[in-house]
Structure 1
Amino acid sequence: MGQGVGPRRPRPRDGELGEAVARAQDGDESAFAVAYRIVHPGLLGYLRGLVGEEAEDIASEAWLEIARGLGRFHGDGAGFRGWTATIARHRALDHLRRQRARPRSAPLEQHALELPGRHGTDEQALESPAGERVLELVRALPRDQAEAVLLRVVVGLDGPAAARVLGKRPGAVRTATYRGLRSLARHLADTGAGDGDESGRGQE
């Protein structure tokens, strides 16, 4: 309690997503395309936060595995988001192991709290320059905090679902999310203060 990261409300399209997945499992290819369009922006944002420019390739690998294993999935729309995130994470970690690298830190930018999916559609947020900068910002966080923020805010999972993806306890994910968001907020405040000082000196 008191950490400022409460349970996420179901995403508005989770009902539509669940129905699409059920139809896709019955062989409706157009329904699978609907599920893809709903889930892919957040999933791609999550992967960008983990592997940067390789995200598109890793996403393609993940979707191939998702399509092949669709019949094994049991659950609703929110559950499908978690299941696909788990698959994408495994592919991303495999890639990082192959590259013998961890997500690299990027130069910090402003607007840290304008997280993808907060304003407008996921597609618009993630494809905007601000969305790209934010993903670079998140990648600068420690791995546990970055993944927690990405899963909670970008993918849209609740605490227990994010914990299942990461193989951790919900309390640990809640704490990591809080710390990650606090770090981003602190940087934003510091940057904003610096900009204000510069503008003030320019007017003297």
Structure 2
Amino acid sequence: MDDADLGDAVSRARDGDEAAFGVVYRELHPMLLGYLRGLIGDDADDIASETWHDIVRDLGGFRGSGQSFRGWAATIARHRALDHVRRRQVRPRTTALDEQIAEHLAERAVAPDSAGVALENLSTERALSLIAELPQDQAEAVLLRVVLGLNGPMAARVLGKRPGAVRTASHRGLTRLSERLRGAGESNG
């Protein structure tokens, strides 16, 4: 779904259209769940529920485009995940996503680069195991850009960083992934 269609669905959902909210939920839930699984692992389902509770509660005050809504929802999810981490005193981590997210990894490649193309062809578990090896800032930037499909400025807003820092982290993360994939291909060939 493109950002214009998402923005329209969000607007209708804000006005009480339950079918439109269903469209928004079906579009974003797999991506939010994947992002949360990348951050906190097995507790992602519970945190996703909390995230949707907050989204429903605050939807009436949201104004913006589809891309802005994705960023707003990702920010809520991130805050819920960080609260969870503080409560549990566990370090955020990147873990394997379920098969439902595999489609979104393929659909939302950051750019037509070798790492993005290679990620499309990997299983979700393998892709996320590679992302798990990245430094935390790079892993989270890649998750926001690839799984949620956020642009650089919106991902920066979610992370509370400058757009250049997020672009750099994402680029470095994708470069490392590309190098690891090339290395794995050479050792297999």
| Aligned residue type for 1:119 | A
1:137 Cα deviation (Å)? Answer: 2.5
Q: Which moved more, 1:128-137 or 1:166-175?
A: 128-137
Contact 1:106 1:137 in 2 (8 A): no
1:120 Cα deviation (Å)? Answer: 5.2
Distance 2:28 2:4 in 1: 13
- The residue that corresponds to 2:91 in the other structure is 102
- How many residues get paired? 173
Secondary structure, counterpart of 1:69 in structure 2: helix
1:143 Cα deviation (Å)? Answer: 1.3
- The residue that corresponds to 1:26 in the other structure is 15
Deviations, residues 111-145 of structure 1 (Å, cap 9, x unaligned) = xxxx76353589xxxxx981133223223311111
Secondary structure, counterpart of 2:104 in structure 1: coil
Distance 1:136 1:182 in 2: 16
Larger radius of gyration: 1
- The residue that corresponds to 2:172 in the other structure is 179
Distance 1:14 1:146 in 2: 24
- Of structures 1 and 2, the one scoring higher in RCO (CA 8 A, sep 6+) is 1
- The residue that corresponds to 1:5 in the other structure is none
* Among 150, 155, 166, the residue aligned to 2:148: 155
Contact 1:116 1:154 in 2 (8 A): no
2:104 counterpart of 1:117: yes
Distance 1:57 1:134 in 2: 23
Distance 2:108 2:72 in 1: 22
Deviations, residues 29-55 of structure 1 (Å, cap 9, x unaligned) = 111111011111211111111111211
TM normalised by structure 2 equals 0.83
1:14 Cα deviation (Å)? Answer: 1.6
Structure 1, unmatched stretches of 5+, are 1-11, 108-114, 123-127, 197-204
RMSD: 2.3
Contact 2:138 2:173 in 1 (8 A): yes
Specify whether residues 104 and 160 from structure 1 end up closer, same or farther in structure 2 by C-alpha distance, changes over 3 A only.
closer
| Aligned residue type for 1:164 | R
